[in-house]
Structure 1
């Protein structure tokens, strides 16, 4: 019983001794880390104000802010460790060995980060552009270190890892898209009149851009009739709505002006049994 009490007293004395020796240093170290967090945020905001003059993309500004904040916090963390009396050289060596193992285990994540940096600094596309890549297409909503988010017309989103983007063939439409509308007229129809009506329809539609100038004309001749191709440019957000509006207007105007559309004809032969 006495030996147990002596052990408890020794542990208590050791704890009090350590608290007296390291308590103030621990408090100072915590204060240094808090100061580092505050100074890091202040430095990041200052950098953001300075970068606003250069009109950089928001992902680039966000990345530089995070780098500055982490660097400042890391510097204060080193100061805190030194205040606690921790030897940094053995710690750095141990972290280097551990970092090599972590890097091997996180190759996919690191690949996304490297690809994200490549996208952010080479800028093959920007937020708001409409792109097509890796069998996906949509408006670029966000570019981060790890992934790029595309938005679809149905309000859904697709998140693509950055390593799936870098090195692939990318089609960047920018912030406008060209419509691909076609209508097939009968060979008996007045093609010149039809083309004039198409021009009027495009001029009256508020979604159709005046620059680049809309293109339209005879796309091809088929067995069914004369195919008129209509290719105006619209803003990305207006693409689907413009297709519906122009198709509807084409039907209404052609019907009012007696422009005959092609009607597919099929010949069916009934073969009876041989007598």
Structure 2
């Protein structure tokens, strides 16, 4: 028992001696590396905030590209900080970088999809086929662009759901960009006997009275088609993307109420049936046609 206790005590003494020697030899280096990392991260945060504020105030750089530039600056500063800290504690940085380069080839082959998204994201950032805040239609998906990153693009649908599309799926596809405004397509039927000039004037006045409707380009309002029981009034104004759904619903109500107040009829579907010739039973019998009796 005593021998075991002596062995444990010797082991603890040896461990203590090793730790003391390690602290004496590397303590200052580790402390210096920690200070370098702390200062580096603080400097990275300060520089990125300064750059972001400058780009926002002094330039017209798109928000997505601005975010990319800020993130790249932070990545460079943090990466340089880690390299300097590693060199401070004696890590062979040159050998480490060479090893990472060799490993990067294998990682690149294993992550071809990610790299494809990265390249497509860079293409989107610099060619700018669309920007944040615009409404696009691509790959049978549509919505307002709310975020663009190096790897994916996020759309917000009109029901407030989010659609995340990998950038490699977007690059090279046919893309419909509506911009920051969309055109409504509203149709309301009026009676054939209605005063067309009055109806178009009422529709124009009602549409322009809505604060969400853009004055430029001017709304398109007129007769879309002549139907069997109604003339179709078409109103096609432009509204900002965020107001599309609310303006669509609000203008339908406003137009119906305006037509009712101004005495413009909105007819229901109807058919006119005329009896050209009515034959009696005797006439049908004389002609040899069967006579059907209903009890």
Same fold, judged at TM 0.5 (above)? yes
Q: 1:200 to 1:73 in 2, by over 3 A?
A: closer
For 1:252 and 1:6, the matched residues in 2 are separated by 96
For 1:261 and 1:141, the matched residues in 2 are separated by 40
Report the equivalent of 1:14.
Answer: 18
* Worse overlay, 72-81 or 148-157: 148-157
Alignment of 1:110-125 (within 5 A): 110-125=115-130
Which one of 47, 51, 69 corresponds to residue 47 of structure 1?
A: 51
Which one of 194, 210, 213 corresponds to residue 208 of structure 1?
A: 213
Q: 1:255 to 1:7 in 2, by over 3 A?
A: closer
Provide structure 1 residue ranges, at least 5 long, that are not aligned to the other structure: 269-273
Q: 1:46 to 1:234 in 2, by over 3 A?
A: closer
Aligned residue pairs total 270
RMSD: 2.8
In the superposition, the TM-score normalised over structure 1's length comes to 0.84
Return the offset for 1:19: 2.6
Secondary structure of 2:87 counterpart: helix
Aligned pair 1:29/2:36, yes or no? no
Report the equivalent of 1:271.
Answer: none
For 1:247 and 1:3, the matched residues in 2 are separated by 91
Which one of 195, 199, 202 corresponds to residue 200 of structure 2?
A: 195
For 2:211 and 2:7, the matched residues in 1 are separated by 93
Secondary structure of 1:260 counterpart: coil
For 1:255 and 1:204, the matched residues in 2 are separated by 17
Structure showing greater Rg: 2
Aligned pair 1:85/2:90, yes or no? yes
For 2:185 and 2:247, the matched residues in 1 are separated by 11
Residues 207-242 of structure 1: CA distance to partner in whole angstroms, max 9, x if unpaired?
Answer: 222211111112223444332221111222222222
In the superposition, the TM-score normalised over structure 2's length comes to 0.79
For 2:207 and 2:11, the matched residues in 1 are separated by 93
Return the offset for 1:6: 5.2
Residues 144-188 of structure 1: CA distance to partner in whole angstroms, max 9, x if unpaired?
Answer: 223322223433333333233222222222222111011223433
